[in-house]
Structures are given as structure tokens and as C-alpha cells.
Chains A and B, each alone.
Chain A
Amino acid sequence: MPKWFTGAAVLCGLMFAVAPVLIANAPYESTMGLVQKIFYVHLPSAWVFLLSAIVCGVASVRFLFRGDPRQDRLAWAAAELVVLFGLVTLVTGPLWARKAWGTWWQWDVRLTSSLMGWMVAVAYLLLRKYGGPGSDKLGAGLALFGMANVPFVYISVNYWRTIHPATSVVPTLPSSFGVPLWFSAVTFLLLFVLLLRLRVRLQEQHAALDALYLSMDA
């Protein structure tokens, strides 16, 4: 592992220890009260969810056209993090919505497109796990198509929703979230980088193992 890894891991652990204190001390949001504090994990994880999806897509396209196995390892690692952070986002979201909107789920544009993006990432992982030989190329193709699909999902769901008017009002949030949100976002970002590096490391070890087995056969 690179030298910075241990230091960054310690820093990330410390930040995770400090974050709850900051969040607990943050002022109550006037209309939603206590439940608004879910926001401090929901939004950062949603950002990291999006970021890992972008990393996965870009790495997949580069692998498809250049054939660099390092890009493939990065794409696989990022796809796993898409599923992880997507799960966090999709679980904390409804818990917050239950209180704030009065309903667990809405077929709103963001919710639906996040769910579809998450489904594509799950399909990617299933493909990589059970697809056997050749699934690296196939996975890259799937990621590319998944990226091209995002605007279509967005437009179609948006229009589908507008002709079926929303039943509850989504309160827009005040713009001042304060320090805890940014602190939490940086913590999640650091965690993302660490997990990505760790997961790529696992992929590298697998590749080394395969190479070793091949050299034994030869």
C-alpha cells in the first residue's frame, strides 16, 4: 500500500469520531427538527455515490478503447462503491422522507434515476461475478450504456411525473447548512478514496495470484 494510506486512514477514523459531535451540536432546522440531521449523512453519501459512478464510467470507457487492465480494476472497485454508497443513500433517504414528506417513497426524478443507476451498478457486479471469461469487456459496455442512459431516464421520469402531479409538497431546504455538512462531506470523500484504494489493491492481488498460477502451469 502507498505511504499516505495509513495516515489518511487514521485521519478518516478521527474525522468519523468527531463528525457525530459536530452534527449533534448543529442547530435544529426549524421546520423538520431532529430528523433533518439525517441530511448530514444522506447528502454526502449521495455525492460520493455520484462520484463513484462517474469514476466507474470513465474508467470503463478508457478500458474499452485502450485495454489497460488498471482501468478495469478501477472500474470494478468503483462499481462496488456505487452499490455501497447508493445503498446508504437509498436507505437514509426514505427514513428522512417518512418524517419530512409523510411517505417512504416518491417516484420523483432524483429518486427514480438514483434507483436506476444503482440497479445498473448491481447488474454490473452480478455480471462481473457470474459472467465468467469476457465479462470485463461486457461490464465496460454496460457501464458505457448506463452512462448514456442517465439523461433518458431523467427526461422520461420527469415528464412521466409532471403529467401525474405530485401528491405531497416537497419542502425546499434552507441554504445554510453550516459547517457539519461540509465536514461530513469531506469525511465521506476521504473514506471513498481509502475504500477505492483498498478495493483496487484487492483487485491487484487477484491479478498477481492469477499471474502466479499461470506461471506455475507454464
Chain B
Amino acid sequence: MMLRRLVVVFVLVVAGSASRDAACVRAAEAGSWDPAYVVSVLSAQQPAPTQQEEFVPIEELPPQDQLPAAPLLVAAYSFVVLALFAYLVSVARRLGAVQHELERLESELKRSGRR
């Protein structure tokens, strides 16, 4: 029963737009399991965009197939911030070291020039 329900939901999702799907799913859940009804709903739908036939939207996957998106998102953004920050710090440190040596050398040159 559960399987059949999933199949019908899947077919509806593939065929239709999001708002219509919601209505159909509601109708299906209300108990209209008559195949003729499903066919009539399907034929009433606009031709589906080709893209939609090729993958199942993530919300419609069974829960065990769904990956939590938040950790991936957090990982991506924290990596970007950390990488850019680390690079900035590295350039600043290298620049500081070179600047320091340059100043040291210049003052040394001045002193030796006076002598």
C-alpha cells in the first residue's frame, strides 16, 4: 500500500508543477486511488518541462536518501572564510618580514655610511 502510494506520488511529481502536485498529493492522500482519476489528473496537466523528468526533487526522496544540507553549507562557507583569511594572514606576515628586513638593512647602511 505504502509502495503504491509512493509510486503515485512519484508519477504526480514528475508530471506536474509544484502547486498542482501539492493539490494532487492531498487528493491522493484523501483516498482517491482510482486509476481513472490519476489518468485524468495526468492528462489535465500541462506537458512537463523536460528537465523535471530526469531527476526526483530532493524533497520527494525517501528520508534515508536525503542528506542534511546544513553541514555541507556550513563546511563550504567556513572553508571559504578560513582559506581567504589564512591567505591574507600569510601575505601580511611575509610582507611584514620583508619590510622589517628592509628597514634594518637601510638603517645599517646609513650608520656605515656615516662612519
Specify which chain B residues have a CB less than 8 angstroms from the CB of A41 in the assembled complex.
76-77, 80
Of all chain B residues, the one with the shortest Cβ separation from A174 is B51
A158 contacts the other chain (Cβ, under 8 Å)? no
Size of interface on B: residues with Cβ below 8 Å to A = 31
Check if A96 sits within 8 Å of B98, measured CB to CB.
Answer: no
Find out whether the CB atom of B72 lies under 8 angstroms from the CB atom of A35: yes
The secondary structure that dominates the A interface is: helix
> Which residues A69-95 have CB closer than 8 A to chain B?
84, 87-88, 91-92, 95
Q: Is A216 an interface residue (CB 8 A)?
A: yes
Set of chain B residues within 8 Å of A213, measured between Cβ atoms: 105
Taking the complex as formed, is B59 at the interface, i.e. its CB lies under 8 A from any CB of chain A? yes
Q: Which of A171, A201, A216 contacts B55 (CB 8 A)?
A: A171
Tell whether A156 is near chain B: CB-to-CB under 8 Å: no
B91 near A198: Cβ-Cβ < 8 Å? yes
- B95 touching A202 by the CB < 8 A rule? yes
The answer, yes or no, to whether B69 is at the interface (CB within 8 Å) is yes
Which of these, B18, B59, B73, B94, contacts A38 with CB under 8 Å? B73
- Kindly specify which of B2-10, B26-34, B82-90 makes contact with the partner chain: B82-90
Residues of the B chain whose Cβ atoms lie less than 8 Å from the Cβ of A35: 69, 72-73
Say what secondary structure dominates the interface of chain B. helix
Residue from B67, B79, B98, B102 in contact with A92 in the complex, judged by beta carbons closer than 8 Å: B79
Name the B residues within 8 Å of A169 (CB-CB).
54-55
Given contacts A32-B58, A213-B105, contact A95 B72 (CB under 8 A): yes
Instruction: Collect the chain B residues with CB atoms within 8 Å of residue A206's CB.
Output: 98
Please determine whether B80 and A45 come into contact, CB atoms closer than 8 angstroms.
Answer: yes
Given A169-B54, A171-B51, A198-B95, is A98 in contact with B80 using a C-beta cutoff of 8 Å?
Answer: no
CB of A14 within 8 Å of the partner chain: no
CA distance A84 to B88 in the complex (A): 11
Interface pair B101/A209, CB less than 8 Å apart:
yes
B45, CB-defined interface residue at 8 Å: no
List residues of chain A with CB within 8 A of the CB of B51. Answer: 171-172
- Taking a contact as CB atoms closer than 8 A, the residue among A32, A84, A172, A205 that contacts B102 in the complex is A205
Cβ-defined partner of B94 (8 Å) among A37, A42, A202 = A202
Whether, in the assembled complex, A135 has its beta carbon less than 8 Å from a beta carbon of chain B, the answer is no
8 contacts between A and B (CB under 8 A): A31-B57, A32-B58, A33-B58, A88-B79, A198-B95, A201-B95, A209-B101, A209-B102
The 6 A-B pairs at the shortest CB distance, nearest first, are namely A35-B69, A34-B69, A205-B98, A95-B76, A92-B76, A38-B76
Question: Which residues of B pack against A, CB within 8 Å?
Answer: 18, 51, 54-55, 57-59, 67, 69-70, 72-73, 75-77, 79-80, 83-84, 87-88, 91, 94-95, 98-99, 101-102, 105-106, 109
Given contacts A191-B84, A198-B95, 20 further A-B contacts (CB under 8 A): A30-B18, A30-B57, A31-B57, A31-B58, A32-B58, A33-B58, A34-B69, A35-B72, A37-B73, A38-B77, A45-B80, A95-B72, A98-B72, A99-B67, A202-B91, A202-B95, A202-B98, A205-B98, A205-B99, A209-B105
